[in-house]
Amino acid sequence: MLVKKIETTSSPIEINQITQEEQLSWLMDQYGDMVVRLAFTYVKQKQLAEDISQEVFISCFKNLETFQNKSSYKTWLYRITVNKCKDYFRSWSYRNISYQDLFRSIFPSSGLSVEAKILEGEEKEIIFEHVLALPIKLREVIILHYYEELSVNEISELLGLKSNTVKTRLHRAKKLLQSSLKERHSYGG
């Protein structure tokens, strides 16, 4: 068995020295918010994103023993999350039940005046609404690249795409965003 280490605030802990429950707890603490944010970018509903994140960590727990450390835990969780979201879109409930979109800002502001926080929050919300309106293939690369700060190569590996395909999708997504934001601005919205 490979010796895997978890970085904590104090020192690395060998994974084979802690229980699966402790491993899962650490992964949830480290990556829980990230998983919910990523799921939200796909499903556009906070409660549903939280439900998917629970499924992600259940799947993670069931497969911790088989994790081969070929990638980082972060990449592994990204892959599980993306797959769970895609499973949701193929599900009966998605195809047959109409949901209302719920949107709340998920990106906290820091150290600004109340007025500046409100304006920054509104600006982020507007941009994020436009990102969420993109087709899913373009939306996912924008989210992974700009919000989750993954490189083109990491996105390529994560989504199983060629890096040139990722670059093309990023380019198309940026053009669509620019166009929709210009249109919104010209109409005073």
60-111 pLDDT tens trace: 888 888 887 777 888 889 889 988 988 887 775 555 443 333 333 334 445 5
Higher pLDDT, 32 or 15: 32
Domain containing 16 equals 1-102
Judgement on whether residues 96 and 115 belong to the same structural domain of the protein? no
Confidence of residue 114 (pLDDT cuts 50, 70, 90): low
Judgement on whether residues 97 and 132 belong to the same structural domain of the protein? no
The tally of domains found in the chain comes to 2
CA distances from 138 to 4, 113, 118, 174 (A): 34, 34, 28, 9
Last residue of a domain, one of 102, 137, 159: 102
Last residue of a domain, one of 49, 76, 102: 102
- Please state whether the predicted TM-score (pTM) of the whole model is above 0.75: no
How large a percentage of the chain has pLDDT more than 70?
71
Judgement on whether residues 125 and 165 belong to the same structural domain of the protein? yes
| Arithmetic mean of pLDDT over the chain | 76
Torsion of CA 110, 115, 121, 122, to 10 degrees: -170
Last residue of a domain, one of 102, 123, 138: 102
Is the pLDDT at 150 greater than 70? The verdict is: yes
Judgement on whether residues 81 and 36 belong to the same structural domain of the protein? yes
In CATH, what number is assigned to the domain containing residue 118?
A: 1.10.10.10
CA atoms of 41 and 24, how far apart (whole Å): 23
CA distances from 25 to 6, 19, 31, 121, 169 (A): 12, 10, 10, 31, 35
Nearest Cα to 149, choosing from 37, 3, 14, 70?
Answer: 37
Is the pLDDT at 20 greater than 90? The verdict is: no
Mean pLDDT computed over 7-27: 66
Q: Strand, helix or coil at 33?
A: helix
